[in-house]
Protein backbone atom coordinates (compact mmCIF):
# COMPACT_ATOMS: atom_id res chain seq x y z
CA UNK A 1 0.00 0.00 0.00
CA UNK A 2 2.24 2.83 -1.29
CA UNK A 3 2.02 5.99 0.78
CA UNK A 4 2.86 9.56 -0.19
CA UNK A 5 2.38 12.96 1.37
CA UNK A 6 0.25 14.12 -1.54
CA UNK A 7 -1.66 12.05 -4.07
CA UNK A 8 -2.77 14.02 -7.13
CA UNK A 9 -5.46 12.59 -9.41
CA UNK A 10 -4.94 13.88 -12.94
CA UNK A 11 -1.69 14.81 -14.68
CA UNK A 12 -3.37 17.48 -16.78
CA UNK A 13 -3.22 21.26 -16.91
CA UNK A 14 -3.59 21.97 -13.19
CA UNK A 15 -2.22 18.66 -11.92
CA UNK A 16 1.10 19.16 -13.71
CA UNK A 17 1.54 22.57 -12.10
CA UNK A 18 0.65 21.38 -8.62
CA UNK A 19 2.81 18.24 -8.77
CA UNK A 20 5.84 20.17 -9.96
CA UNK A 21 5.47 22.92 -7.37
CA UNK A 22 4.78 20.65 -4.38
CA UNK A 23 7.78 18.48 -5.28
CA UNK A 24 10.03 21.55 -4.97
CA UNK A 25 10.14 20.62 -1.30
CA UNK A 26 12.51 17.61 -1.13
CA UNK A 27 11.02 16.60 2.21
CA UNK A 28 7.63 15.68 0.74
CA UNK A 29 6.63 12.85 -1.58
CA UNK A 30 4.15 13.40 -4.39
CA UNK A 31 2.32 10.84 -6.52
CA UNK A 32 0.82 12.09 -9.78
CA UNK A 33 -1.78 9.72 -11.26
CA UNK A 34 -2.34 10.05 -15.00
CA UNK A 35 -4.73 7.82 -16.94
CA UNK A 36 -2.86 8.21 -20.22
CA UNK A 37 0.71 7.71 -21.42
CA UNK A 38 3.59 10.18 -21.44
CA UNK A 39 3.73 12.88 -24.10
CA UNK A 40 7.52 12.70 -24.26
CA UNK A 41 8.86 11.66 -27.69
CA UNK A 42 5.39 11.83 -29.21
CA UNK A 43 5.56 14.35 -32.07
CA UNK A 44 1.86 13.94 -32.83
CA UNK A 45 1.23 15.42 -29.38
CA UNK A 46 4.13 17.84 -29.00
CA UNK A 47 3.71 19.46 -32.44
CA UNK A 48 1.03 22.09 -31.94
CA UNK A 49 -0.23 22.15 -35.51
CA UNK A 50 -1.10 18.45 -35.31
CA UNK A 51 -3.84 19.11 -32.71
CA UNK A 52 -6.77 18.28 -34.97
CA UNK A 53 -5.44 14.75 -35.46
CA UNK A 54 -5.72 14.10 -31.72
CA UNK A 55 -9.49 14.63 -31.57
CA UNK A 56 -11.29 11.30 -31.48
CA UNK A 57 -8.03 9.34 -31.43
CA UNK A 58 -6.42 6.93 -28.97
CA UNK A 59 -5.56 9.78 -26.59
CA UNK A 60 -9.15 11.00 -26.32
CA UNK A 61 -11.71 9.91 -23.71
CA UNK A 62 -14.41 10.81 -26.26
CA UNK A 63 -17.32 11.94 -24.13
CA UNK A 64 -20.62 12.51 -25.88
CA UNK A 65 -23.59 14.64 -24.94
CA UNK A 66 -27.15 13.67 -24.18
CA UNK A 67 -29.83 14.68 -26.66
CA UNK A 68 -29.93 18.45 -27.06
CA UNK A 69 -33.43 19.39 -28.28
CA UNK A 70 -32.40 22.88 -29.43
CA UNK A 71 -28.76 22.17 -30.22
CA UNK A 72 -26.45 19.55 -31.69
CA UNK A 73 -26.74 16.12 -30.09
CA UNK A 74 -23.71 14.78 -31.99
CA UNK A 75 -20.91 16.76 -30.34
CA UNK A 76 -17.81 14.82 -29.29
CA UNK A 77 -16.48 16.36 -26.10
CA UNK A 78 -12.81 15.51 -26.37
CA UNK A 79 -10.91 15.12 -23.09
CA UNK A 80 -7.24 14.28 -23.28
CA UNK A 81 -5.83 10.95 -22.13
CA UNK A 82 -2.14 11.89 -21.97
CA UNK A 83 0.32 13.61 -19.65
CA UNK A 84 -0.40 17.34 -19.76
CA UNK A 85 -4.11 16.71 -20.20
CA UNK A 86 -5.96 19.09 -22.48
CA UNK A 87 -2.93 21.38 -22.69
CA UNK A 88 -1.38 18.48 -24.67
CA UNK A 89 -4.49 18.24 -26.85
CA UNK A 90 -5.77 21.75 -27.54
CA UNK A 91 -4.73 24.80 -29.56
CA UNK A 92 -2.95 26.45 -26.59
CA UNK A 93 -4.70 29.78 -27.13
CA UNK A 94 -3.54 31.69 -24.07
CA UNK A 95 -5.61 34.46 -22.53
CA UNK A 96 -5.11 35.70 -19.02
CA UNK A 97 -8.69 35.89 -17.66
CA UNK A 98 -10.00 39.44 -17.71
CA UNK A 99 -10.28 41.36 -14.42
CA UNK A 100 -14.06 41.21 -14.77
CA UNK A 101 -13.85 37.39 -14.94
CA UNK A 102 -11.98 37.07 -11.65
CA UNK A 103 -14.12 39.74 -9.96
CA UNK A 104 -17.24 37.84 -11.04
CA UNK A 105 -15.84 34.81 -9.17
CA UNK A 106 -15.32 36.82 -6.01
CA UNK A 107 -18.83 38.25 -6.26
CA UNK A 108 -20.10 34.68 -6.55
CA UNK A 109 -18.53 33.77 -3.21
CA UNK A 110 -14.97 32.84 -4.19
CA UNK A 111 -13.35 35.13 -1.63
CA UNK A 112 -9.69 35.81 -2.39
CA UNK A 113 -10.02 35.07 -6.11
CA UNK A 114 -10.62 38.63 -7.33
CA UNK A 115 -8.53 40.23 -10.05
CA UNK A 116 -6.12 42.00 -7.71
CA UNK A 117 -5.33 38.78 -5.83
CA UNK A 118 -4.99 36.70 -9.00
CA UNK A 119 -2.88 39.07 -11.11
CA UNK A 120 0.53 37.96 -9.69
CA UNK A 121 -0.07 34.32 -10.64
CA UNK A 122 0.16 35.03 -14.35
CA UNK A 123 3.78 36.09 -13.84
CA UNK A 124 4.56 32.79 -12.10
CA UNK A 125 3.63 30.64 -15.08
CA UNK A 126 6.46 28.67 -16.67
CA UNK A 127 4.77 28.36 -20.05
CA UNK A 128 6.22 30.18 -23.03
CA UNK A 129 3.29 32.50 -23.76
CA UNK A 130 4.03 34.52 -26.91
CA UNK A 131 2.10 36.15 -29.73
CA UNK A 132 1.79 34.09 -32.92
CA UNK A 133 5.22 34.48 -34.47
CA UNK A 134 5.65 36.61 -37.58
CA UNK A 135 6.60 33.59 -39.69
CA UNK A 136 3.31 31.91 -38.67
CA UNK A 137 1.10 34.93 -39.43
CA UNK A 138 -0.74 33.84 -42.55
CA UNK A 139 -1.50 36.52 -45.13
CA UNK A 140 -5.21 35.72 -45.20
CA UNK A 141 -5.40 35.98 -41.41
CA UNK A 142 -3.80 39.42 -41.52
CA UNK A 143 -6.22 40.50 -44.25
CA UNK A 144 -9.09 39.19 -42.12
CA UNK A 145 -7.83 41.27 -39.19
CA UNK A 146 -7.64 44.37 -41.37
CA UNK A 147 -11.13 43.77 -42.75
CA UNK A 148 -12.60 43.26 -39.28
CA UNK A 149 -11.04 46.51 -38.08
CA UNK A 150 -12.69 48.33 -40.95
CA UNK A 151 -16.06 46.55 -41.01
CA UNK A 152 -16.67 46.43 -37.25
CA UNK A 153 -14.70 49.51 -36.17
CA UNK A 154 -12.45 47.47 -33.88
CA UNK A 155 -8.95 48.21 -32.62
CA UNK A 156 -6.17 45.79 -33.51
CA UNK A 157 -4.76 44.11 -30.42
CA UNK A 158 -1.06 43.32 -30.52
CA UNK A 159 -0.65 41.15 -27.43
CA UNK A 160 -4.00 40.24 -25.88
CA UNK A 161 -2.36 39.73 -22.47
CA UNK A 162 -0.68 43.13 -22.32
CA UNK A 163 -3.72 44.90 -20.88
CA UNK A 164 -7.42 44.19 -20.28
CA UNK A 165 -9.69 44.59 -23.31
CA UNK A 166 -13.37 44.51 -24.14
CA UNK A 167 -13.15 44.62 -27.93
CA UNK A 168 -10.44 44.00 -30.47
CA UNK A 169 -9.07 41.78 -33.22
CA UNK A 170 -5.64 40.31 -33.73
CA UNK A 171 -3.34 37.33 -33.66
CA UNK A 172 -3.64 35.29 -30.49
CA UNK A 173 -1.07 34.69 -27.80
CA UNK A 174 -0.17 30.99 -27.70
CA UNK A 175 1.81 28.77 -25.33
CA UNK A 176 4.29 27.40 -27.83
CA UNK A 177 7.84 27.54 -29.10
CA UNK A 178 7.63 29.17 -32.55
CA UNK A 179 11.05 27.94 -33.70
CA UNK A 180 9.87 24.33 -33.94
CA UNK A 181 6.09 24.57 -33.30
CA UNK A 182 6.51 22.63 -30.06
CA UNK A 183 3.85 22.91 -27.41
CA UNK A 184 4.55 24.72 -24.18
CA UNK A 185 1.91 22.65 -22.42
CA UNK A 186 1.62 22.17 -18.68
CA UNK A 187 3.63 18.95 -18.92
CA UNK A 188 6.31 20.43 -21.19
CA UNK A 189 6.71 23.51 -18.98
CA UNK A 190 6.32 21.99 -15.52
CA UNK A 191 7.25 18.29 -15.72
CA UNK A 192 9.59 17.61 -18.65
CA UNK A 193 12.57 19.56 -17.27
CA UNK A 194 12.54 17.47 -14.07
CA UNK A 195 11.85 14.18 -15.83
CA UNK A 196 14.82 14.82 -18.11
CA UNK A 197 17.11 16.05 -15.33
CA UNK A 198 16.02 13.42 -12.82
CA UNK A 199 16.17 16.07 -10.10
CA UNK A 200 12.80 15.29 -8.45
CA UNK A 201 13.17 11.78 -6.98
CA UNK A 202 10.30 12.63 -4.64
CA UNK A 203 7.88 13.04 -7.59
CA UNK A 204 6.36 9.74 -8.69
CA UNK A 205 4.44 9.91 -11.98
CA UNK A 206 2.13 6.91 -12.40
CA UNK A 207 1.16 6.73 -16.08
CA UNK A 208 -1.69 4.73 -17.63
CA UNK A 209 -3.14 4.47 -14.15
CA UNK A 210 -6.83 5.05 -13.59
CA UNK A 211 -8.28 6.41 -10.35
CA UNK A 212 -11.74 4.97 -9.85
CA UNK A 213 -12.60 5.52 -6.18
CA UNK A 214 -11.55 7.60 -3.18
CA UNK A 215 -10.77 5.96 0.14
CA UNK A 216 -12.98 7.71 2.68
CA UNK A 217 -13.16 6.76 6.35
CA UNK A 218 -11.68 7.87 9.66
CA UNK A 219 -13.44 8.28 12.97
CA UNK A 220 -16.07 10.54 11.42
CA UNK A 221 -16.34 8.64 8.15
CA UNK A 222 -15.54 11.86 6.30
CA UNK A 223 -11.73 11.76 5.93
CA UNK A 224 -10.21 11.11 2.51
CA UNK A 225 -7.00 9.16 2.99
CA UNK A 226 -6.21 7.71 -0.41
CA UNK A 227 -7.17 6.75 -3.93
CA UNK A 228 -7.97 3.35 -5.41
CA UNK A 229 -6.25 2.95 -8.80
CA UNK A 230 -6.00 0.36 -11.54
CA UNK A 231 -2.85 0.01 -13.60
CA UNK A 232 -2.52 -0.86 -17.27
CA UNK A 233 -2.06 -4.51 -16.29
CA UNK A 234 -5.35 -4.50 -14.38
CA UNK A 235 -3.72 -4.60 -10.95
CA UNK A 236 -5.64 -2.60 -8.35
CA UNK A 237 -3.90 -0.73 -5.54
CA UNK A 238 -4.69 1.78 -2.85
CA UNK A 239 -2.39 4.81 -2.78
CA UNK A 240 -2.56 6.57 0.58
CA UNK A 241 -1.93 10.25 1.25
CA UNK A 242 -0.39 11.37 4.53
CA UNK A 243 -1.41 14.97 3.99
CA UNK A 244 -3.98 15.43 1.23
CA UNK A 245 -5.58 13.99 -1.86
CA UNK A 246 -5.79 16.59 -4.63
CA UNK A 247 -8.29 15.93 -7.39
CA UNK A 248 -7.38 17.57 -10.70
CA UNK A 249 -9.22 15.29 -13.12
CA UNK A 250 -11.24 17.99 -14.89
CA UNK A 251 -14.85 19.04 -15.16
CA UNK A 252 -16.05 15.58 -16.23
CA UNK A 253 -13.88 13.12 -14.35
CA UNK A 254 -13.63 15.00 -11.05
CA UNK A 255 -17.39 14.85 -10.33
CA UNK A 256 -17.42 11.33 -11.78
CA UNK A 257 -14.78 10.19 -9.24
CA UNK A 258 -16.61 11.88 -6.36
CA UNK A 259 -19.94 10.33 -7.24
CA UNK A 260 -18.50 6.82 -7.61
CA UNK A 261 -16.95 7.35 -4.17
CA UNK A 262 -20.35 8.08 -2.65
CA UNK A 263 -20.05 11.88 -2.67
CA UNK A 264 -22.89 13.65 -4.45
CA UNK A 265 -26.64 14.14 -4.42
CA UNK A 266 -28.09 11.52 -2.09
CA UNK A 267 -31.13 10.66 -4.21
CA UNK A 268 -29.07 10.18 -7.39
CA UNK A 269 -26.55 7.89 -5.69
CA UNK A 270 -29.23 5.83 -3.97
CA UNK A 271 -31.07 5.35 -7.26
CA UNK A 272 -27.93 3.69 -8.69
CA UNK A 273 -27.20 1.66 -5.58
CA UNK A 274 -24.05 3.59 -4.68
CA UNK A 275 -23.60 3.80 -0.89
CA UNK A 276 -23.91 7.43 0.19
CA UNK A 277 -20.83 8.61 2.07
CA UNK A 278 -21.51 12.33 1.91
CA UNK A 279 -24.61 14.09 0.59
CA UNK A 280 -23.26 16.97 -1.51
CA UNK A 281 -25.91 18.00 -4.06
CA UNK A 282 -23.74 20.38 -6.11
CA UNK A 283 -21.47 17.63 -7.47
CA UNK A 284 -21.97 17.50 -11.24
CA UNK A 285 -24.25 20.56 -11.38
CA UNK A 286 -23.44 23.93 -13.02
CA UNK A 287 -21.90 22.41 -16.18
CA UNK A 288 -20.81 25.39 -18.31
CA UNK A 289 -19.06 25.70 -21.66
CA UNK A 290 -18.21 28.04 -24.51
CA UNK A 291 -20.59 26.86 -27.25
CA UNK A 292 -20.03 28.21 -30.73
CA UNK A 293 -21.14 27.66 -34.31
CA UNK A 294 -19.58 28.34 -37.69
CA UNK A 295 -19.81 30.23 -40.96
CA UNK A 296 -17.76 28.77 -43.82
CA UNK A 297 -16.53 30.30 -47.05
CA UNK A 298 -14.93 28.72 -50.07
CA UNK A 299 -11.79 30.59 -51.09
CA UNK A 300 -10.78 31.35 -54.63
CA UNK A 301 -8.05 28.71 -54.63
CA UNK A 302 -5.55 27.61 -51.98
CA UNK A 303 -4.26 29.95 -49.29
CA UNK A 304 -0.67 30.21 -48.01
CA UNK A 305 0.34 27.27 -45.83
CA UNK A 306 2.16 28.99 -42.96
CA UNK A 307 0.40 28.83 -39.59
CA UNK A 308 0.97 28.06 -35.92
CA UNK A 309 -2.16 25.89 -35.55
CA UNK A 310 -4.69 26.93 -38.26
CA UNK A 311 -6.78 29.13 -35.94
CA UNK A 312 -4.27 31.83 -35.13
CA UNK A 313 -6.44 34.94 -34.89
CA UNK A 314 -9.67 36.05 -33.29
CA UNK A 315 -11.86 38.98 -32.39
CA UNK A 316 -14.05 40.16 -29.53
CA UNK A 317 -16.98 42.56 -29.59
CA UNK A 318 -19.17 44.05 -26.90
CA UNK A 319 -22.76 44.34 -28.12
CA UNK A 320 -24.24 45.36 -24.77
CA UNK A 321 -22.62 48.48 -23.29
CA UNK A 322 -23.77 47.38 -19.81
CA UNK A 323 -22.01 44.00 -20.09
CA UNK A 324 -18.77 43.43 -18.20
CA UNK A 325 -16.23 42.45 -20.86
CA UNK A 326 -16.87 41.13 -24.38
CA UNK A 327 -20.10 39.27 -25.12
CA UNK A 328 -19.27 37.79 -28.55
CA UNK A 329 -16.06 36.21 -29.77
CA UNK A 330 -14.80 34.63 -33.00
CA UNK A 331 -11.99 32.25 -33.83
CA UNK A 332 -10.75 32.55 -37.42
CA UNK A 333 -9.92 29.17 -38.96
CA UNK A 334 -7.65 28.96 -41.99
CA UNK A 335 -9.45 25.75 -42.90
CA UNK A 336 -13.08 24.96 -43.87
CA UNK A 337 -14.42 23.72 -40.51
CA UNK A 338 -17.35 21.71 -41.85
CA UNK A 339 -17.74 18.63 -39.62
CA UNK A 340 -21.23 19.60 -38.47
CA UNK A 341 -22.47 21.30 -41.67
CA UNK A 342 -21.57 18.13 -43.60
CA UNK A 343 -23.89 16.16 -41.32
CA UNK A 344 -26.63 18.62 -42.37
CA UNK A 345 -25.98 17.98 -46.06
CA UNK A 346 -23.45 20.68 -46.90
CA UNK A 347 -20.29 19.83 -48.84
CA UNK A 348 -16.78 20.64 -47.73
CA UNK A 349 -15.03 22.91 -50.24
CA UNK A 350 -11.53 21.95 -51.33
CA UNK A 351 -10.21 25.32 -50.14
CA UNK A 352 -11.87 27.46 -47.52
CA UNK A 353 -11.85 29.38 -44.26
CA UNK A 354 -14.25 29.76 -41.33
CA UNK A 355 -15.33 32.10 -38.57
CA UNK A 356 -16.79 30.62 -35.42
CA UNK A 357 -19.14 32.88 -33.44
CA UNK A 358 -18.58 31.98 -29.79
CA UNK A 359 -20.57 32.81 -26.64
CA UNK A 360 -18.17 34.15 -23.97
CA UNK A 361 -20.76 34.13 -21.21
CA UNK A 362 -23.17 31.37 -22.11
CA UNK A 363 -26.32 31.24 -20.00
CA UNK A 364 -26.72 27.49 -20.46
CA UNK A 365 -26.31 25.48 -17.25
CA UNK A 366 -26.18 21.72 -17.53
CA UNK A 367 -25.02 18.78 -15.45
CA UNK A 368 -22.78 15.72 -15.40
CA UNK A 369 -24.42 12.65 -13.89
CA UNK A 370 -23.93 8.90 -13.59
CA UNK A 371 -26.09 6.36 -15.38
CA UNK A 372 -24.50 3.30 -13.74
CA UNK A 373 -22.72 2.30 -10.53
CA UNK A 374 -20.01 0.75 -12.71
CA UNK A 375 -17.04 3.16 -12.80
CA UNK A 376 -16.20 1.92 -16.31
CA UNK A 377 -19.42 3.39 -17.71
CA UNK A 378 -18.96 6.94 -18.94
CA UNK A 379 -21.07 9.61 -17.26
CA UNK A 380 -23.81 11.50 -19.07
CA UNK A 381 -23.14 15.11 -20.10
CA UNK A 382 -26.22 17.29 -20.55
CA UNK A 383 -25.13 20.82 -21.44
CA UNK A 384 -28.70 22.07 -21.98
CA UNK A 385 -27.47 24.11 -24.93
CA UNK A 386 -29.78 26.91 -26.10
CA UNK A 387 -32.54 26.35 -23.58
CA UNK A 388 -34.68 29.52 -23.36
CA UNK A 389 -35.01 31.40 -20.10
CA UNK A 390 -38.21 31.82 -18.10
CA UNK A 391 -39.35 34.50 -20.55
CA UNK A 392 -38.73 32.29 -23.58
CA UNK A 393 -35.59 34.19 -24.67
CA UNK A 394 -32.63 32.17 -25.96
CA UNK A 395 -29.67 34.46 -25.23
CA UNK A 396 -27.11 31.98 -26.55
CA UNK A 397 -28.96 31.36 -29.79
CA UNK A 398 -29.38 35.10 -30.38
CA UNK A 399 -25.67 35.60 -29.80
CA UNK A 400 -24.90 33.17 -32.62
CA UNK A 401 -27.35 34.90 -34.98
CA UNK A 402 -25.71 38.26 -34.23
CA UNK A 403 -22.36 36.60 -34.84
CA UNK A 404 -23.31 35.36 -38.32
CA UNK A 405 -24.44 38.86 -39.29
CA UNK A 406 -21.20 40.43 -38.10
CA UNK A 407 -19.15 37.73 -39.84
CA UNK A 408 -20.87 38.54 -43.12
CA UNK A 409 -19.93 42.19 -42.71
CA UNK A 410 -16.29 41.17 -42.34
CA UNK A 411 -16.55 38.97 -45.43
CA UNK A 412 -17.74 41.94 -47.50
CA UNK A 413 -14.80 44.11 -46.48
CA UNK A 414 -11.42 44.30 -48.13
CA UNK A 415 -8.76 43.05 -48.07
CA UNK A 416 -10.44 39.83 -46.85
CA UNK A 417 -13.23 39.83 -49.47
CA UNK A 418 -10.80 39.35 -52.35
CA UNK A 419 -9.96 35.85 -51.10
CA UNK A 420 -13.55 34.60 -51.01
CA UNK A 421 -15.49 32.78 -53.73
CA UNK A 422 -18.79 32.06 -51.94
CA UNK A 423 -20.41 31.46 -48.57
CA UNK A 424 -20.85 27.71 -48.10
CA UNK A 425 -22.63 27.58 -44.72
CA UNK A 426 -25.23 28.68 -43.76
CA UNK A 427 -25.40 30.03 -47.33
CA UNK A 428 -26.14 33.56 -48.62
CA UNK A 429 -29.80 32.71 -49.16
CA UNK A 430 -30.28 32.13 -45.41
CA UNK A 431 -31.10 35.60 -44.10
CA UNK A 432 -34.11 35.21 -41.78
CA UNK A 433 -33.14 35.25 -38.09
CA UNK A 434 -35.15 32.14 -37.24
CA UNK A 435 -33.68 30.26 -40.18
CA UNK A 436 -30.15 31.32 -39.27
CA UNK A 437 -30.75 30.33 -35.65
CA UNK A 438 -32.09 26.89 -36.56
CA UNK A 439 -29.10 26.05 -38.77
CA UNK A 440 -26.32 27.43 -36.59
CA UNK A 441 -27.73 25.74 -33.48
CA UNK A 442 -27.85 22.40 -35.30
CA UNK A 443 -24.27 22.95 -36.48
CA UNK A 444 -23.05 24.20 -33.09
CA UNK A 445 -20.02 22.63 -31.50
CA UNK A 446 -17.84 23.07 -28.46
CA UNK A 447 -14.42 24.62 -27.99
CA UNK A 448 -13.80 21.91 -25.38
CA UNK A 449 -14.14 24.16 -22.34
CA UNK A 450 -16.38 22.26 -19.88
CA UNK A 451 -16.17 23.72 -16.38
CA UNK A 452 -18.06 24.48 -13.19
CA UNK A 453 -19.22 21.01 -12.07
CA UNK A 454 -17.72 21.26 -8.55
CA UNK A 455 -18.05 24.97 -8.21
CA UNK A 456 -16.37 27.11 -5.58
CA UNK A 457 -18.60 29.22 -3.40
CA UNK A 458 -19.49 30.72 -0.07
CA UNK A 459 -20.65 28.74 2.95
CA UNK A 460 -24.31 29.64 2.34
CA UNK A 461 -24.20 28.48 -1.31
CA UNK A 462 -26.11 25.19 -1.19
CA UNK A 463 -24.63 23.96 -4.47
CA UNK A 464 -21.02 24.96 -3.81
CA UNK A 465 -18.79 21.86 -3.68
CA UNK A 466 -15.56 23.52 -2.55
CA UNK A 467 -14.81 26.52 -0.37
CA UNK A 468 -12.46 29.35 -1.45
CA UNK A 469 -9.51 27.27 -0.19
CA UNK A 470 -10.57 24.51 -2.59
CA UNK A 471 -11.50 22.15 0.26
CA UNK A 472 -14.45 19.86 -0.39
CA UNK A 473 -17.28 20.87 1.91
CA UNK A 474 -17.92 18.38 4.69
CA UNK A 475 -14.82 16.27 3.99
CA UNK A 476 -11.25 16.52 5.22
CA UNK A 477 -8.03 15.55 3.49
CA UNK A 478 -9.19 16.49 0.00
CA UNK A 479 -9.18 19.49 -2.31
CA UNK A 480 -10.20 20.00 -5.93
CA UNK A 481 -8.11 22.13 -8.26
CA UNK A 482 -9.20 22.16 -11.89
CA UNK A 483 -11.80 23.80 -14.15
CA UNK A 484 -14.59 22.04 -12.28
CA UNK A 485 -14.30 24.60 -9.45
CA UNK A 486 -14.99 27.58 -11.77
CA UNK A 487 -18.06 29.38 -10.35
CA UNK A 488 -18.60 31.06 -13.74
CA UNK A 489 -16.92 30.86 -17.13
CA UNK A 490 -14.22 33.38 -18.08
CA UNK A 491 -15.05 35.30 -21.25
CA UNK A 492 -11.80 34.04 -22.80
CA UNK A 493 -10.32 30.61 -23.48
CA UNK A 494 -9.77 29.21 -19.98
CA UNK A 495 -6.46 27.30 -20.11
CA UNK A 496 -4.35 30.09 -18.60
CA UNK A 497 -6.99 30.49 -15.91
CA UNK A 498 -6.57 26.79 -15.02
CA UNK A 499 -2.78 27.18 -14.87
CA UNK A 500 -3.13 30.22 -12.61
CA UNK A 501 -5.60 28.29 -10.47
CA UNK A 502 -2.97 25.55 -10.13
CA UNK A 503 -0.36 28.05 -8.99
CA UNK A 504 -2.72 29.56 -6.42
CA UNK A 505 -3.76 26.11 -5.24
CA UNK A 506 -0.14 25.37 -4.32
CA UNK A 507 -0.11 28.44 -2.06
CA UNK A 508 -3.30 27.19 -0.39
CA UNK A 509 -2.03 23.61 -0.01
CA UNK A 510 1.58 24.10 0.98
CA UNK A 511 2.04 24.49 4.74
CA UNK A 512 3.08 27.96 5.82
CA UNK A 513 6.08 28.49 8.07
CA UNK A 514 3.62 28.97 10.96
CA UNK A 515 2.02 25.61 10.17
CA UNK A 516 5.41 23.91 10.13
CA UNK A 517 6.40 25.44 13.46
CA UNK A 518 3.10 24.33 15.02
CA UNK A 519 3.62 20.70 13.96
CA UNK A 520 7.15 20.54 15.35
CA UNK A 521 6.50 22.44 18.59
CA UNK A 522 6.19 20.52 21.87
CA UNK A 523 2.91 18.66 21.82
CA UNK A 524 2.72 18.93 18.05
CA UNK A 525 2.92 16.08 15.56
CA UNK A 526 6.33 15.76 13.96
Residue numbers annotated as active site: 449
Structural contact between residues 353 and 240, judged by C-beta atoms closer than 8 angstroms: no
The whole-angstrom separation of Cα 89 and Cα 99 is 27
Contacts of residue 80, defined as CB under 8 A and 6 or more positions apart, other chains included, come to 12, 36, 54, 59, 60, 61, 86, 87, 88, 89, 90
DSSP 52: G
Query: Could you tell me where the beta strands, DSSP code E, fall in 119-166?
Result: 129-131
Task: Establish whether 82 is an annotated binding residue.
Answer: yes
**Alpha helices for 225-338 (secondary structure H):** 250-260, 266-272
The whole-angstrom separation of Cα 72 and Cα 502 is 32
Q: What are phi and psi of 351, to 5 degrees?
A: -130, 135
The whole-angstrom separation of Cα 3 and Cα 491 is 40
Tell me the sheet residues that pair with 422. Answer: 298
How far lies 509's CA from each of 20, 118, 472, 487, in Å?
A: 13, 16, 13, 20
Give, for 104, the enclosing helix (H) or strand (E).
Answer: helix 99-107
**Alpha helices for 211-328 (secondary structure H):** 250-260, 266-272
The whole-angstrom separation of Cα 272 and Cα 444 is 32
Measured at the CA of 294, the angle between CA 44 and CA 439, to 5 degrees, comes to 135
Annotated binding-site ranges: 82
Annotated binding-site ranges for FAD: 82
Amino acid sequence: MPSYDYVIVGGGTAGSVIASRLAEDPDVTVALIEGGPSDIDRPEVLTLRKWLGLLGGELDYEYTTTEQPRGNSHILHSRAKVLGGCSSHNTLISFKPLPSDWDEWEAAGATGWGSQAMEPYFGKLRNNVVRVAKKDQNEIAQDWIDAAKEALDLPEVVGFNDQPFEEGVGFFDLSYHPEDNKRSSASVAYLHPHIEAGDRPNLHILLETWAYKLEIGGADGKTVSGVHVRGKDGEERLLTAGREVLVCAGAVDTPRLLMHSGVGRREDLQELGIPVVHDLPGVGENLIDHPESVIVWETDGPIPDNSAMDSDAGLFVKRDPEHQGPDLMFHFYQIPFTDNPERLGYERPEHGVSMTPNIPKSRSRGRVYLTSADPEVKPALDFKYFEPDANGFDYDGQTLVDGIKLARKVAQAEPFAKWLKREVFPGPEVTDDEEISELVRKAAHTVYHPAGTCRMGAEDDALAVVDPRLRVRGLTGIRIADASVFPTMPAVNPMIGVLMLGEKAVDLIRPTQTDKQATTAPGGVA
